[in-house]
């Protein structure tokens, strides 16, 4: 089998702090190109955001088409002096591979590449002869950033070229405690907003001449936090609304402020769309405010809807490969934050399965070498079953 540790080290040693490419896409371009893939490097731009380099590579022209998706950009290392191994050194010590991106998610990409190279070598280049389906890699450089010049545009670019995906695996670190314990089959949506309560500014000694928005916004916060948004369902936990800050912009202790604001975020399941969720919160604000309190919500733009890939043949394929290698029956889960899978779900069924995520974004981020090797074997098992 291809040396997954060496591939992961080559990627980690590229300082691709988002949105910098750092040489990581070049590593993949050379490796996949040498294996017979047609490789495209695509750069997207948008006013107000950095240019982002992306990569799309495919071998084969026929269906079924399995795509491995992910990102080579990483979060900053923070205080590099606090690392026991260099953040971009890719050192192996005591059976662990250290470095920024080892878990999130250069290790996952390395495992997918190693498994694919091994599958191609063992199957006499079937995909190159166009009679064994297709494998592709859709790799972005801004998942850890604002995510405007990466996957969402690369998918549109691919669609314009006539690319059609049957299924996709995103190599994000999905496992919680041990390899094989979790497959992410969906994610809750994310919607942020600001609750605004208008009052009348005045002197604290003359409250009858003013209208204080502070106790009013406190009452609305309690009202919105108290009632559940839903009860969840078989695939999703209940939606939740969390207030994250309260601000009145007032530095004087003898002035009643004119306005109070409270920021919040909602992680919502498939009981709601963004439109129905906003309507529900607006209605609850109006009901709690009554005729006296002047309140409204300013909604932030969001491209993060909830989604779920229903259990079926595809999840069964991945589950079987996991059980063969780890002996575990993975939990089909929709918890956690957002990922680029929220964009991919508009094009094909998508699941997330990668390494154990306990050290992602931490100082001394690392993954056991044994986990990297198991993930490679699992991906290879998926390929064998998928194209059988």
Catalytic residue among 53, 143, 216, 371: 143
215, 242, 61: which is closest to 134 by C-alpha? 61
Give dist(CA 94, CA 247) in Å, integer: 48
DSSP secondary structure, 47-82, as one string: TTEEEEEEEEEEE-SSSPEEEEEEE--B-----GGG
User: Any residues with CB less than 8 A from the CB of 152 and at least 6 apart, and which?
Assistant: 303, 340, 343
The answer to whether residue 143 is catalytic is yes
The answer to whether residue 73 is catalytic is yes
Longest Cα separation, the chain: 86
> Phi, psi (5° rounding) for residue 265?
-135, 140
* H helix runs in the chain, sequence order: 4-12, 24-34, 106-122, 151-160, 213-226, 274-289, 313-326, 341-344, 369-386
List residues bridging with 255 in a β-sheet.
203
207 half-sphere exposure, CB direction, 13 A CA radius: 5
Element (H, E) at 197: strand 189-198
| Token digits of residue 46 | 């948008």
355, 361, 352, 322: which is closest to 4 by C-alpha? 355
Neighbours of 19 (CB within 10 A): 23
Catalytic residue among 10, 53, 73, 172: 73
Give dist(CA 243, CA 52) in Å, integer: 33
Active site members: 73, 143
């Amino acid at each position: 089998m291809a040396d997954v540790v060496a591939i992961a080290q080559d990627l980690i040693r590229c300082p691709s702090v988002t949105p910098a490419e750092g040489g990581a896409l070049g590593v993949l371009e050379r490796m996949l190109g040498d294996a017979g893939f047609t490789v495209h490097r695509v750069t997207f731009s948008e006013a107000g955001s950095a240019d982002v380099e992306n990569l799309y590579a495919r071998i084969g022209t026929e269906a079924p088409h399995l795509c491995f998706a992910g990102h080579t950009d990483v979060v900053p290392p923070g205080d590099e002096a606090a690392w026991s191994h260099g953040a971009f050194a890719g050192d192996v010590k005591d059976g662990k591979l250290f470095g920024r991106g080892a878990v999130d998610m250069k290790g996952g990409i390395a495992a997918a590449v190693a498994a694919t190279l091994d599958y191609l070598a063992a199957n006499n280049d079937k995909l190159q002869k166009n009679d064994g389906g297709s494998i592709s890699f859709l790799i972005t450089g801004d998942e850890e950033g604002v995510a405007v010049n990466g996957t969402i545009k690369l998918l549109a670019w691919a669609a314009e070229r006539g690319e059609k995906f049957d299924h996709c695996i995103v190599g994000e670190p999905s496992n919680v405690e041990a390899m094989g314990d979790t497959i992410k089959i969906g994610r809750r949506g994310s919607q942020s907003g600001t609750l605004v309560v208008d009052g009348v500014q005045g002197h604290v000694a003359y409250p009858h001449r003013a209208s204080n928005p502070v106790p009013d916004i406190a009452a609305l916060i309690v009202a919105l936090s108290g009632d559940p948004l839903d009860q969840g369902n078989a695939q999703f936990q209940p939606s939740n609304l969390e207030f994250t800050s309260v601000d009145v912009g007032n530095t004087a202790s003898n002035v009643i402020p004119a306005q109070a604001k409270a920021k919040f975020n909602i992680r919502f399941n498939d009981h709601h769309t963004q439109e129905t969720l906003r309507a529900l919160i607006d209605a609850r604000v109006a009901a709690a405010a009554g005729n006296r309190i002047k309140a409204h919500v300013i909604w932030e733009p969001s491209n993060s809807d909830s989604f779920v890939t229903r259990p079926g043949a595809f999840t069964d394929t991945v589950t079987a490969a996991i059980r063969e290698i780890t002996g575990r029956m993975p939990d089909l889960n929709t918890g956690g934050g957002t990922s680029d899978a929220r964009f991919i779900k508009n094009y094909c069924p998508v699941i997330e399965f990668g390494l154990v995520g306990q050290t992602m974004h931490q100082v001394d981020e690392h993954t056991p070498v044994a986990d990297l090797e198991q993930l490679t074997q699992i991906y290879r098992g998926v390929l064998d079953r998928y194209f059988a």
